[in-house]
Structure 1
């Protein structure tokens, strides 16, 4: 019985401070997570859903073959404009 009392004493010496630290931590965590009101949390969830929908639409647009085709057409127009500008330069401009 005497060795059991020693064991209980050691457990209590280390256990009580650890329990105090743990409960303090739990209390602080509750305070931090309680900082967002329920209405704000619902609004934020709704906003995230709206943004996810918008991202899905943008992904569909970018991966759509029509968008790729439009991008290629614009690139060809830009290339054509560059060639047209190069051929319309005067001889003085090309010798520089």
Structure 2
């Protein structure tokens, strides 16, 4: 009788472990908190250094985005000036003046 229960118990243990793995994977995938050995919630620990680093990176990101915005505006103005017909006309006039002098 004990020999016939061995495979059944093995299958039950494998099914329980597989169920635990699948449940944990689904909880992680959907953002639910994980449980520790005694049922307490396990959250990522935040230390002061990591929080300060995130703040500094966020500030730097905002500054760089503002700088990129101003560079885009300046580039648009330069493109408008260069492609402006009056500018090309002025350039042609200056070239003609240079040839006559």
Q: Which range, TM-score by smaller chain?
A: 0.3 to 0.5
Q: TM-score, normalised by structure 1?
A: 0.47
Q: TM-score, normalised by structure 2?
A: 0.45
Greater helix share, structure number: 1
Greater RCO, CA 8 A, separation 6+: 2
